Amino acid sequence: MQAAAAAGLDGGQGQLIVTPSTFRLRRQQCSANVRMAGKPGGANMVARVSTVAFEGVECRPVDVQVHVASGTVVFNIVGLGDKAVRESQERVRSALTASGLALPAKRITINLAPADLPKEGSHYDLPIALGVMAAIGAVPHDALDGCAVIGELALDGAISAVAGVLPAAIAANAAGKGLICPASCGPEAAWASADLDILAPRSLIQLANHFKGSHRRCRGLSPPCARRARRSRICATSRARRAPSGRSRSRRPAATTSS
């Protein structure tokens, strides 16, 4: 366990802490860690992020489930994704590397549920990346509860604009959730409702720092949205997320580089 602690593993809780210097974990450390990963006292090792699939102008809720386990080092995305969804694993891998994280050398399985609904488009990049980050502990497990996520990743970790943010925002609002969307789509999402909580980061690092609490991205929206922000109380939920129950700040994972 000493080795694990040296590598940044919080032994008691089994939280994996990833820092730039330690993102290449040795195999045995990983497997030792994975047995303990997840919520204390539970065997739940699946991170869940909610997003949407489009059916015309309607939105269907989609659950991105990420499972990190020991075994062959593969990265699988299942759940009837099209070519853009299959290719998202390369974008996610590069974006995480660019953000100072790396995919752990483990078996990563991603399921887009419901698995019989065809998924298409590039907006699953961000939920997949956030699911992986939650699964390896780079963002808190509960940070993404009550949030729908939509966005495409660039190889350098920037979050690019996607189509369909307005229907997604309306669907998220109807389901009583907040929305995480690309920065350039923030103004579009803000039309959905004045009460919708919107988080519109420019990059994965900004988002991770926001969850970590070191650099809040509450008002960091593009100007037209910032004007609306006065009315729309953007990010009220994220403020609440900064003080999660039953977990002290010192145990929060030092998620990413603080660039």
Report the run of H or E that residue 60 belongs to, with start and end: strand 58-69
Q: Which residue bears the tokens 């802490």?
A: 17
Shortest separation between residue 156's beta carbon and another protein, angstroms: 22
Shortest separation between residue 175's beta carbon and another protein, angstroms: 16
Alpha helices, DSSP H only, in 7-152?
27-36, 83-98, 125-135
The residue among 167 and 213 lying less far from another protein, judged by its C-beta, is 167
Among residue numbers 190 through 229, which ones bind another protein (CB under 8 A)?
190-191, 224-225
Site string for another protein, 112-151 (x = CB under 8 A): ------x-xx------------------------------
Selected binder of another protein within 23, 54, 124, 211 (CB under 8 A): 54
What single-letter DSSP state applies at residue 235? Answer: T
The residue among 110 and 225 lying less far from another protein, judged by its C-beta, is 225
What single-letter DSSP state applies at residue 102? Answer: -
Shortest separation between residue 5's beta carbon and another protein, angstroms: 47
Q: What are phi and psi of 203, to 5 degrees?
A: -145, 170
Say if strands 46-55 and 58-69 run parallel, antiparallel, or are unpaired.
antiparallel
The C-alpha atoms of residue 207 and residue 180 are separated, in whole angstroms, by 9
Provide the binding-site residues for another protein, judged by CB under 8 A: 54-57, 118, 120-121, 162-167, 170, 184-191, 224-225
